[in-house]
Structure 1
Amino acid sequence: MYKRPRMAGRGFAIVLSLVLAMSFLVSPVAAYTPPHSKPGPAADKLIFKAFNVDIAPAALQKGEMDMYIYSLKTLAAQELAKVQGIKMYQAPATSIGLILNPAPAPSGQLNPFSVKAIRYAVNQVLDRNYIAQQIYQGSALPMYSHLSSGDYDYRVINSMVYEMNLGYQPEQAKTTVTAEMQKAGCTLVNNKWQYQGKPVELKFIVRTEDERRVVGDTIAAELDKLGFTTRIIYQQFAQAINMVYAQDPALLQWHLYTEGWSKGGADKYDSGLINQMYAPWLGNMPGWQEQGFWQYQNATLDDLGKKVYMGTFASTSQRDDLYKQMTKLAMEEAVRLWVVTAVNNFAAKSTMDGVTQDIAAGPRSLLTLRDAYVPNQSTLTIGNQWVWTERSTWNPVGGFGDVYSSDIWRNMVDPPLYSHPFTGLPAAYRASYTVETAGPSSTLAVPADAFRWDADKGKFATIAGATRATSKVTFDYSKYFQSKWHNGQQIEMADLIYAIYQSFDMVYNKNKSAIEFAAATTTKPVLDTFKGFKILDANRIEVYVDYWHFVPDYIASYAVPASLTTPWEILAAMDNIVFDKRQGAYSDTAAARFNVDWLSTVNKSHALRIRTVLSGFKDAGTVPNLIFDTPQTRVSFSSAQARYQASMDFYDSYSHLAISNGPFKLVRFDSAAQYAELDAFRDPGYPFKPGDKYLGAAQLVDIKNVTSSKLEPGKAGEVTVELSGAGTLAVDFSLVDPATSKVLKSGQAQGSGTRFTVALSAADTQNLKQGIYYLYLLGSSDAVSQVTERRLDVDMAGGGVITVPGDNGENGGGGGGGGISPMLIVIPIALLVGGGLVFMILKGAKTKK
């Protein structure tokens, strides 16, 4: 009798061969004893130093640092884990992928990646299993979309991903490429494609600092086999970023690049990441929405993406359907491809206490260094691959796009809301909130005395009559206003209002939007949904938005009016430099277009320029009262003078102007020495002390046991799954034909507690043949935003479940084996990158690594 073959390990179905020791994700929360009860962080000082990843293990053993927050290479991490006095933390913190340049070539040349079918075929020469198992030594999982198999929204797309069959199929890729290249007018000469008598060359930018060098070499060899002439250009972070993201794609200085993305926080219901990675409107697809550049365009992706991001859905199922449609289309477009989700290995002294481990970012999270300390030690030294690169730009509007600056900055600033490190849901951090919504089917009246910035009139104006909005969020900023900025000035409602003004004027003021074109273009669709603001008292502000979500906390996250990262006088001085004096720019693309500096508050000469403007404001008695034209926000002459002087004094003391409000204050920054020093900020009004936000470690879902009845074609059967984990548990399943990758049945297993059943009726099995089928399980919980995937081999010849990849240490749970995923937004959800709403769409997104 015919028996169906088992699929080879290099196909789409994944069998991991390593137990991923993600112990921090399954252990109970350890007790935390704060070292003191003073306001501010546990440590008195943070020092950031650069250590190349290859020397970091030795430096750790010598005691030259207390924690290393750049991922160690796998083999080095395995050796270091054996060293007494060192503790290893592992986290789903890095995603590795490819960005392909789809720009058309000029006359007489050919860019193969301008052809969608060729781009898609590159998927089939990505031997993801080999890369995960051999290059990453098993500390990675193959990745096919922007989501890893451990992300909560993978439940939405997993069946579709299985059916797309994106496994390693080089012969199929070669067939596709041959047909498309011949159609384009190319000829194959000595196994190399030529176009009009010249080799078809691919310029491949390959990063060198980590495993991506070997990944790039491996992929280049596969591209060569397809007949391309692949020219590898090895580059480190800054040079690669400049070439790929700051240049017009039509120049064809690159054809593909080994991207790396850093994840700094969990996000249960994604809206930012899918847009960041696929939707042109957000400015992260080739062309980058910069004026004058060739642009990759896809109106359908933009439409779907905006609906997902802006809450244009009426139910969870409708949102999920939009999300699935967008993912499928983007994967078919194949401009951005995904290779592996890598486990990051972070090392620290075993005596370090107070580490809160985000399920996505591990110890590289918002909370860790606020509570972390080593007993009998007042200073923590933190190592990283870099402290500063040529692409590390500290400005609160268009900077902090790299992981290295963000790793420092997040310890200096408190977000109003953040993404809870376990649930992945938005939660209050320093601002509290209440949500009222009439959505999705109705609206609320916006009060007539609510206001919105009118760029034409140059002032805040009351809204038009009969304005309505879907939702209202009332924010209380009192935990900010009870304390001070790092320059000693009281945080006030005026700081919030200036940040709102800055964002709106940059978008709706035609002169400003022409300068910061990309920022204005990508932010406008979001700001259009903000219908009005109303200040209630000295601490509270109402925000009216056309936005709805089935989880009210996401409404609050969307409606955050400003992040309060920077004093208003610093923002005003930077605005003057960018828009009036035209001596700098907020974004890299505007800086390149106008040949001015990309402003950075830690660049001494840039900071001096800001100080000079502040001095001019002070001498002229400048008070921007058209902006502060409300009783609650009006700024007096004396207050403005004190503000200017305090920031000037801050520069005179520290030679920078990176002033914020969080638990640490930057007191020294030396880019040449790769060194940053932060002192604890212990203002009596600072609202948090050690332990207030400590959470420790989460408990992920684990698939503990799987049994089944006898399974045969045409007969009913069942598979029983036992889970462990906190919260309310659930199991999703997909039965897949490995020969065709067709999903034969999918749904949610029946059951409760920890025991669930996948029931197959006689009708479900009547058309099956005897042989092996795959049953994919996704275990989930409402207590964590990560799922655990496992593949079962099911014998339909009467044997039932005959193998359970993961038992006896083979899998550890698929979706990260307890937590493998990418390395994304170091900036927590709702910690807006801009002074106000600019770039707020980066919530849930990734930063470049």
Structure 2
Amino acid sequence: MQLMRALDPLQVASSGVNLLRSGLVLTFASALALSPLPLRAQDNLDTRRGGLLDEIVFATETDTARLSGLISDGAFQLTAQGVSDPSMFQRIRESALIDYDMSFGGSVELTLNPAGPTFRDGTLNPFHVPAIREAMNWLIDRRFIAEEIYGGLARPRSLPIGTAVPDFARVAASARAIELRYRHDPARALAVIEAEMQALGAERQGGIWHHDGRPVTLRMVIRSDDNRRQVGDHVANLLEGAGFRTERLYRGPEEASRIWIASDPAAGQWHIVTGAWISTLVRRDSSDDFDFYYTPRGRPDPLWQAYTPAPEFDRVASRLAEGDFADLEERAALMTRALDLAMQDSARIWLVDQSQIGPRAADIQVASDLAGGVRGSQIWPLTLRFADRVGGQARVAMPSVLTEPWNPVAGTNWLFDRMVLRALNDSSVLPDPFTGLHRPQRLARADLTVREGTPVSVTLPWVTLDQAEEITVPDDAWIAWDEGEGRFLTVAETGQQGLSARTRTLLHYGPEFFDRLWHDGSTVSLPDVLVSWALTFSRANPDSPHFDPSHVPVFEVFERQFRGWRIVSEDPFVLEVYSDQISLDAETMVAQRTASVLPWHVIGLAMQAEARGELAFSSAKADRIDAEWLSLVAGPSLPILDRRLEDARDAGAIPFPNLLGPHLTEEEIAQRYDNIAAWRAARRHFQIGDGPYLLHSVHPIEGALVLRHFPDFPDPADRWLGFAAPPVPVLDLDGPLIVARGEEARFTIQASFAGDPVAADDMEAARFLLFDGDGTLIEEGDVTEIGGGMWEVRLTPAQIAALGMGPNSLEVVFTSRHVAMPVFASQPFATVPVRTANW
């Protein structure tokens, strides 16, 4: 499992270059019968639009140990898979043919199956019991995993929020206290497991747990393609030492996904999965992580629908996700409580945060995200290029291709699938790869008004932020959906005149918004926006043929905060959104309210197929109605969509005709279907987008995809160039190793980047945490800036006295304004009696 987490959120050449796949050498051109691509390396950067390459080939390479050699040999120019092996990192650093980027947003965890207490076959699932899940935290030595398995390219992690996000710095004191409570304590873990297993009616026979006369065997899905194989073996050994038998199911990404994502947890195909997640952008606000990872609102998949968090945890997670807090103090209290409750729930056992290396050929340049690397970067398609020319072909190695079905409604959330899709689709806004703050792409500007006292700040000039004593929703704003009539209802029609909202967002789109083209040649238009809105409501309505129970929890969260949409202008497109949901950054709030566009003529075909019970947008509904999970690119979905296309062309059918019909002519409808039919005939799939690259061809058997430059993309090719290395500060903490009681202690910190001092104005926050020998937090406060990139912490005699005798530690946490990732430094020191101070 390697899924992504984003707003939202973990795949050769046509001229006969060899493709190396799973140890085999294939001549890619002959194997896939690709037509030669005329390279346009002579194109001028000043006149080029969209992507900077002519072609990108994604091909499967499952052996990470071979990646550096394949890049050095020219078989690949880039790998989507992050490297976390120390020996390979050393080879990469020593090679003149390879460059690399570092990213810090990956994490590794154990996903536990909560179904039970017994599966359908009657076998026991110990992890149905929260106390046994919680005990796993004490059983596992995270420091061993970080240092021995990941060779120092990882940091121990115990909590649902990562150590490399701003929220960790905001709640560092309480987070460190909770980490202390769950530090490695195998004796405590075994005692809890013993008591809870007996309560389940299990007993030991010959040291092995038995239930109903059968050994309790834990089926562990262990990813075999990276360090998680060693992690899985280590955890299996620990569980065997606790009296369980284990069945180790070593699987690659696709096989693992079929087991834990596609299956019903109650079927009992698995107990534990070695999981990995990656944030595809720098997460400035982690308050919705609890809702995503621990409640049915997180995802529509069967596993998430099996989650049953405790009522208090469910309420706290929901409040944080919805921004239901009055000020930052209340938010901090909710975050601290959520951390406590998440550890008691422990549907996931967090193990480490990874530092991953993204290798690339030395002549390749790309904007890598500080959290997600290249594979998570939202702007990689707009920045990937050769250093010395425009155009050409790049080959990208992927651990898997087409891991899950692609559809834009409830399709794949797989990291590497989503990486490719980001090249195929455009976005209203794009996040800065270093700060996570969103910048405008299709938007021109945004005006945000919040109710007075709402804890929101703005950083970038494209968003204006104002406050108002009261925000009233207009009577003509759309707020509800009438499934029978197939149209939106206004505030006035629902009898909610005078409705107030916490926020009002006015989104001003650029003049090109409805002048752009889909890849099949169709012009993006207002119905592409309306179909997305309507489907969001229709899928939550039990009277709709598109009703999906797995969509309901997510929709209910949205509906509680939604206060209305209003189209202010169609040309230029100006949209007004009213909502009670807030985030700490105005830029993030704007991003959450932007309009999605879906090609209505493709979505309409899928809707017809779903109404007939042939296809389903989500995996959960597909399983429930025994239908195919919709894929627009491969598999059994395609002939079904072919039949629905024939019907739609003959009838001139459109989705939600009462809503979309007034905005479409018969000629436009016919042209849309002609365009997608021609596209399907030429490309052999239905995946169209509006991004800088189009999906030229799909090769599921060979494990490859071919993307080509989309020349009609509206933006200049150099628009997003200019991102260099992220300016992550380096901290050098210095101070005494021995401090006598009754004395003051002074510690100094030098903050620098690339050897130059970091100015105080470039720092957003600098805090210190003082711990005694038991790890108890004794004191916290601000670090003092003293000039020239130097800072200091002065501990008073009273603070030293509060530590007692023995070992202690001082930890400092700095957060830069230019990189939304806290950096840490710590120093141990000992307190001694006055008479021994000079020993």
State if a TM-score over 0.5 links the two structures: yes
Q: Could you say if the C-alpha distance between residues 457 and 738 of structure 1 is closer, same or farther in structure 2, counting changes exceeding 3 Å?
A: farther
Q: Does 1:380 align with 2:409?
A: no
Residue in structure 2 matched with residue 847 of structure 1 by the alignment: none
Residue identity matched to 1:139: L
Quick check: 259-268 or 699-708, which moved more?
699-708
**Residues 365-514 of structure 1: pairs in structure 2 closer than 5 A:** 365-374=377-386, 375-376=388-389, 378-389=391-402, 391-432=403-444, 433-438=446-451, 443-452=470-479, 453-464=481-492, 465-478=497-510, 479-508=512-541, 510-512=543-545, 514=547
Distance 1:440 1:307 in 2: 18
3-state DSSP of counterpart to 2:424: coil
Residue identity matched to 1:169: D
Q: Does 1:595 align with 2:626?
A: yes
Residue in structure 1 matched with residue 750 of structure 2 by the alignment: 722
1:109, CA displacement in angstroms?
5.1
Q: Does 1:575 align with 2:607?
A: yes
Residue in structure 2 matched with residue 651 of structure 1 by the alignment: 680
Residue in structure 1 matched with residue 10 of structure 2 by the alignment: none
Q: Could you say if the C-alpha distance between residues 460 and 183 of structure 1 is closer, same or farther in structure 2, counting changes exceeding 3 Å?
A: closer
Conserved 8 A contact 1:602-1:669: yes
Residue in structure 2 matched with residue 296 of structure 1 by the alignment: 308
Distance 2:802 2:95 in 1: 56
Conserved 8 A contact 2:749-2:791: yes
- Please, what TM-score do these two structures have when normalized by structure 1? 0.84
Q: Could you say if the C-alpha distance between residues 92 and 396 of structure 1 is closer, same or farther in structure 2, counting changes exceeding 3 Å?
A: same
Residue in structure 2 matched with residue 696 of structure 1 by the alignment: 724
Residue in structure 2 matched with residue 558 of structure 1 by the alignment: 592
1:269, CA displacement in angstroms?
1.4
Conserved 8 A contact 2:630-2:637: yes
Identity %, equivalent residues: 23
Distance 1:682 1:372 in 2: 16
Residue identity matched to 2:694: K
**Residues 92-131 of structure 1: pairs in structure 2 closer than 5 A:** 92-106=104-118, 110-131=124-145
Q: Deviations over 1:234-292 (max 9, x none)?
A: 22222222222333323332221111113221111123433212234324797422xxx
**Please, which runs of 5 or more residues in structure 2 have no aligned partner?**
1-42, 455-468, 753-757
Q: Deviations over 1:665-695 (max 9, x none)?
A: 1111111111111111111x61242243542
Distance 1:417 1:104 in 2: 43
Q: Does 1:266 align with 2:282?
A: yes
Distance 1:105 1:43 in 2: 54
Residue identity matched to 1:55: R
Q: 1:362 aligns with which of 359, 368, 373?
A: 373
Distance 1:193 1:243 in 2: 25
Residue identity matched to 1:337: I
3-state DSSP of counterpart to 1:768: coil
Residue identity matched to 2:171: I
Distance 2:129 2:488 in 1: 48
1:84, CA displacement in angstroms?
2.1
Higher normalized contact order (CA 8 Å, seq sep 6+, divided by chain length): 1
- Please, what TM-score do these two structures have when normalized by structure 2? 0.85
3-state DSSP of counterpart to 2:158: coil
Conserved 8 A contact 1:100-1:257: yes
Conserved 8 A contact 2:733-2:747: no
Distance 1:737 1:346 in 2: 38
Residue identity matched to 2:585: V
1:186, CA displacement in angstroms?
3.6
**Residues 112-191 of structure 1: pairs in structure 2 closer than 5 A:** 112-164=126-178, 165=180, 166-191=182-207
Residue in structure 1 matched with residue 830 of structure 2 by the alignment: 795
Residue in structure 2 matched with residue 680 of structure 1 by the alignment: 709
1:211, CA displacement in angstroms?
0.8
Distance 1:552 1:89 in 2: 29
Q: 2:236 aligns with which of 194, 202, 220?
A: 220
1:484, CA displacement in angstroms?
1.0
1:35, CA displacement in angstroms?
4.2
Residue identity matched to 1:256: I
Q: Does 1:346 align with 2:355?
A: no
3-state DSSP of counterpart to 2:687: coil
1:154, CA displacement in angstroms?
0.8
Q: Could you say if the C-alpha distance between residues 249 and 79 of structure 1 is closer, same or farther in structure 2, counting changes exceeding 3 Å?
A: same
Residue identity matched to 2:47: S
3-state DSSP of counterpart to 1:90: strand
Conserved 8 A contact 1:750-1:756: yes
Q: 2:579 aligns with which of 538, 545, 548?
A: 545
1:334, CA displacement in angstroms?
1.5
Distance 1:227 1:553 in 2: 51
1:756, CA displacement in angstroms?
3.3
Q: Deviations over 1:632-661 (max 9, x none)?
A: x61111111111111111111111111110
Residue in structure 2 matched with residue 585 of structure 1 by the alignment: 616
1:418, CA displacement in angstroms?
2.8
Distance 2:513 2:102 in 1: 34
Q: 1:745 aligns with which of 739, 758, 779?
A: 779
Distance 1:252 1:621 in 2: 46
Distance 1:380 1:338 in 2: 39
Distance 2:691 2:123 in 1: 53
1:518, CA displacement in angstroms?
0.4
Conserved 8 A contact 2:162-2:353: yes
**Residues 512-551 of structure 1: pairs in structure 2 closer than 5 A:** 512=545, 514=547, 516-537=548-569, 538=571, 539-551=573-585
**Please, which runs of 5 or more residues in structure 1 have no aligned partner?**
1-32, 803-849
1:219, CA displacement in angstroms?
1.0
Distance 1:568 1:281 in 2: 26
Conserved 8 A contact 2:99-2:362: yes
Q: Deviations over 1:21-48 (max 9, x none)?
A: xxxxxxxxxxxx9845311111111111
Conserved 8 A contact 2:81-2:398: yes
1:380, CA displacement in angstroms?
3.2
Distance 1:187 1:398 in 2: 43
Q: Could you say if the C-alpha distance between residues 57 and 161 of structure 1 is closer, same or farther in structure 2, counting changes exceeding 3 Å?
A: same
Q: Does 1:661 align with 2:690?
A: yes
Q: 1:617 aligns with which of 648, 653, 656?
A: 648
